[in-house]
Structure 1
Amino acid sequence: MATASPVFSPAQTTAVAAAPTPTAQQFWTKWLSDILGPLMAHSGSYTPEQMAVHLKFLEDHVAPTLGPLPSEPRNTYTQTYVDSPFEPSLNLTSSGKVKVRYGIEVVKPYGCEHGDDPFGEQRAREVLPALARACGADMQWIKTAMDAFFLTKEETEAMRGKLPTFMPSALLAFDLDGDKTMMKIYIIGMRKAIASGLPSTNHFILGALRKLQPLGEQLAPGLDTVAEYLATTKHHVMLIFVGIDCVDPTVHKSARVKVYLHTSSNAFEVVRDVMTLGGRLVDEVSLKRVEMLRDLWPLLRNEKPGEGPDPVADPAAYDAWHKTDRLTGTPLSGLQYNVEICPNKPGLETKCYVPLFQHTRSAQESEAAMERVLDRLGHEWGSDTGKYRNCVAAAFGKHRVSPTFLSFSYSKSKGAYMSSYLPGVLAAGHEIESGDWEYK
């Protein structure tokens, strides 16, 4: 987790002090709505009625889960690099409308590390079903995932004091599709893997996914491919968490389980290795995905003229080149990936996440880099329209900071598609420079 010092003008300080203190739910409702409302409006994808439905869901169901006011005693949020429990995103595909999404973390009660729920898992067992019921999500995979990855009471006591408590017990994400709210959950399986006593964390996590019901056994071929790759790759690839679609996989044939990976290197030869799982994915779509990503790589890393080997003149040297991150040694360094496994269809789909703020020094520089990528893809939100930067500015104003991740993948049905993840800033802040990064 990282923090940037908040910056307030005297006028802001006076205004905040003079205003009556809102309740926590009032604060979170206004704060969430002030960001999500403009994003939906400027996306051009939602009617006023649909926007009202989503804002009401925020007020009634999401805001009450986010804990006390940020100014009150609380745990440090881990969702984004700006100490925030909320991360909206814009999903931009070659086909279809721009969609708004957002993620939240299950905020642990302050001081829980000293009580019966040191890791916040009991809290997650309350929050996940409640939000699932509120948006009509299916509970089958959620329930079996919690049983597979959360500690028993005995394991909780055994691990107390042995494992850090700052990691969230779970994260959630919501896709806003028309007036529907589609839910996904993310769980870090490392805690349970360590408690299990098994020598391999990867073996435990992938094995636990096989136990999901229904259709867990149909995930086995894809999970076996991932396990084989992780056991044989020469690169340092870590399995960090899993993601699960909260739909009934017997009804929704596109339901997915996602395995998230991390590499400290951003060299393209590493990217190619992960995106093809060491050459195991060689179908036409997988190869085109890598080809398109290679073309975008100088833009995704915001490379300047003369920086690094020439990708055309010396492709081998370029592919081996790791561009140094601005802020090293953090979970937001290097790259993240996911491997999507669907029990109802063969094949695997991979996606790459680039921490854009590691290669840019301002929101404006990040936005320009994002627009250049959209230009290269021929997307209607490219530089000439100003739609991307105007949408972000409407939600965050002049104090916005750089996006966290920018993700890329390609499929036959969607074409090229990307998501721009935008950290929810709690107070007027400043860009994180190399000298004021604090990671605890």
Structure 2
Amino acid sequence: MATVDTLIPNLPAPQAQKKTAHEFWSEYLCSIIHPLLQASGSYTAEQQLAQLRFLVDHVAPTLGPLPSEPRATYTQTYVDSPFEPSLNLTANGKVKVRYGLEVVKPASGPDGPDPFGEHRAREVLLQLAKASGADTQWLNSAMEQFFMTPEETENMRGKLPSFMPSSLLAFDLDGNKTMMKLYVIAMRKAIASGSTSSNQFTLDALRRMQPYGEKLGPGLDVISDNSFAVASDVMTLGGRLTDETTLKRVEILRTLWPLLRNEKPGEGPDPSDAAWDAWEKPERITGTPLSGLQYNVELNPSKPGLEMKSYVPLFQHNASAQESEANMERILRKLEHEWGSNGKYSAAIKAAYGKDRVSPTFVSFSYSKSKGPYMSSYVPGTIDVGAEMKAGNWEYS
């Protein structure tokens, strides 16, 4: 008589299935942004849901294939991710969540039909602009000024580095609205057009923006006449900006500088020494574009003056996430922001990233008359490739 065992076929063990790229990226994005939205205390449940739906419906489909599959190199952060959230903290105590992402280039690479990813960028940027309600007129003008023509693309193939992103963008989360920002690397178009100066090309291109490019002229004139030598020089544009707001911005930045660079007692000149202003603390990690001091000059055609922001690479001066968080809380206490004293900054980061969190990439600082001192902490998240495998049925609700 046959036993039961001989009657049951010897079936192979069921194979684990991978998530689709849309499923993976949706889970990755929401798992980070949802805790930050909750921790900020600035968004209602309905607003949080609207922001998560935007991520799932519009952002996730732009991030390309699964990380383990053939893909272009991510360049947005130092932890190999195309996505970087940030917390914006102002003197009034309100905390807003923002995030930046890169337009991931095609996997075909420099030998493919879109070597610099600008063709794909045009499609993705227009899709996201329409979804968020951004001004596509300015976007189209920016792409016309800073993206190469098909002829220039072919002419530059193999002559320009292709590892740089085609473009980066960011979203400020204001209630249930997503406010889009665009970041473009102007160097490619400057070289392709024969310009001898990428900086001058950028200034000239901004004047040609339509509409309102001509209204940026006075501010651009100030920028073009400065060397951007050191932080205080940049903040005042070589001493040309002497208004009360600018001087206050520099004064506050000076008090934060040792914490931003994690300066220890006895390290470098004493802050009271004139040599301290010129001292450059060595960075921990070399060979990365995410280094040095970076600056943002904001021009608004509807109001005079310039607003300056400085960006300090916090991860270059802190060996661990915990050290960075401690310094961030000290900075916030100096600015009299409640998140520096009530533990909410560290709690928010832990809620979003858990024990495997990393140091913030950059911390930006500025000061305005209306907002007072304000800063943003840019905190990337590592990607768990193991999370590509399905654990039951995935469903977004």
Give the TM-score normalised by structure 2.
Answer: 0.92
Structure 2 distance, partners of 1:57, 1:171, is 18
Specify every segment of 5 or more residues in structure 1 that has no aligned partner in the other structure, as ranges: 1-16, 236-269, 430-440
SS state at 1:182 partner: strand
1:100 aligns with 2:103: no
Deviation of 1:425 after TM superposition, in Å, equals 1.2
Deviation of 1:380 after TM superposition, in Å, equals 0.5
Which amino acid in the other structure matches residue 139 of structure 2?
I
Equivalent residue for 2:237? Answer: 277
Deviations 1:126-180 (Å, cap 9, x if unpaired)? 0011001111111111000000011111101110000011111111100001111
- Residue 157 and residue 280 in structure 1: after superposition, are their counterparts in 2 closer, same or farther (change >3 A)? same
Structure 2 distance, partners of 1:345, 1:144, is 21
SS state at 2:329 partner: helix
Deviation of 1:428 after TM superposition, in Å, equals 8.7
SS state at 1:343 partner: coil
Structure 2 distance, partners of 1:77, 1:90, is 22
1:396 equivalent among 318, 338, 353: 353
Equivalent residue for 2:392? Answer: none
Contact 1:408/1:418 (<8 A) preserved: yes
Structure 2 distance, partners of 1:423, 1:18, is 32
Structure 2 distance, partners of 1:179, 1:287, is 35
Q: State the number of aligned residues.
A: 373
Structure 1 distance, partners of 2:278, 2:142, is 38
Contact 1:119/1:169 (<8 A) preserved: yes
1:39 aligns with 2:54: no
1:294 equivalent among 254, 265, 269: 254
- Which is further off, 319-328 or 284-293? 319-328
Structure 2 distance, partners of 1:58, 1:69, is 16
Quote the sequence identity (%): 69
2:121 equivalent among 100, 120, 124: 124
SS state at 2:312 partner: strand
Contact 1:399/1:428 (<8 A) preserved: no
Structure 2 distance, partners of 1:301, 1:292, is 15
1:356 aligns with 2:314: yes
Structure 2 distance, partners of 1:43, 1:58, is 18
1:317 equivalent among 275, 288, 303: 275
1:161 aligns with 2:158: yes
Contact 1:222/1:348 (<8 A) preserved: yes
Contact 2:72/2:109 (<8 A) preserved: no
2:63 equivalent among 62, 66, 77: 66
SS state at 1:381 partner: helix
Equivalent residue for 1:226? Answer: 223
- Which is further off, 52-61 or 324-333? 324-333
Structure 2 distance, partners of 1:378, 1:97, is 12
Equivalent residue for 1:333? Answer: 291
1:366 equivalent among 316, 319, 324: 324
1:306 aligns with 2:258: no
Structure 1 distance, partners of 2:301, 2:147, is 23
Structure 1 distance, partners of 2:86, 2:62, is 20
Structure 1 distance, partners of 2:61, 2:28, is 13
Structure 1 distance, partners of 2:366, 2:130, is 31
Contact 2:33/2:85 (<8 A) preserved: yes
Which amino acid in the other structure matches residue 48 of structure 1?
A
Equivalent residue for 2:377? Answer: 420
Greater C-alpha Rg: 2
Contact 1:105/1:170 (<8 A) preserved: yes
Equivalent residue for 2:333? Answer: 375
Structure 2 distance, partners of 1:412, 1:101, is 22
Equivalent residue for 1:406? Answer: 363
Deviation of 1:403 after TM superposition, in Å, equals 0.3
Which amino acid in the other structure matches residue 214 of structure 1?
P
Specify every segment of 5 or more residues in structure 2 that has no aligned partner in the other structure, as ranges: 1-13, 387-397
Which amino acid in the other structure matches residue 328 of structure 1?
T
Deviation of 1:18 after TM superposition, in Å, equals 7.4
Structure 1 distance, partners of 2:225, 2:288, is 27
Equivalent residue for 1:210? Answer: 207
Equivalent residue for 1:80? Answer: 77
Deviations 1:175-213 (Å, cap 9, x if unpaired)? 001111100110000000001112111111110011111
Give the TM-score normalised by structure 1.
Answer: 0.83
Structure 2 distance, partners of 1:335, 1:57, is 33
Structure 2 distance, partners of 1:18, 1:422, is 35
Structure 2 distance, partners of 1:150, 1:428, is 33
Alpha-carbon RMSD: 1.4
Structure 1 distance, partners of 2:241, 2:382, is 39
**1:127-276 equivalent positions in 2, closer than 5 A:** 127-230=124-227, 235=229, 270-276=230-236
Deviations 1:271-291 (Å, cap 9, x if unpaired)? 111111111111100000000
Deviation of 1:19 after TM superposition, in Å, equals 4.8
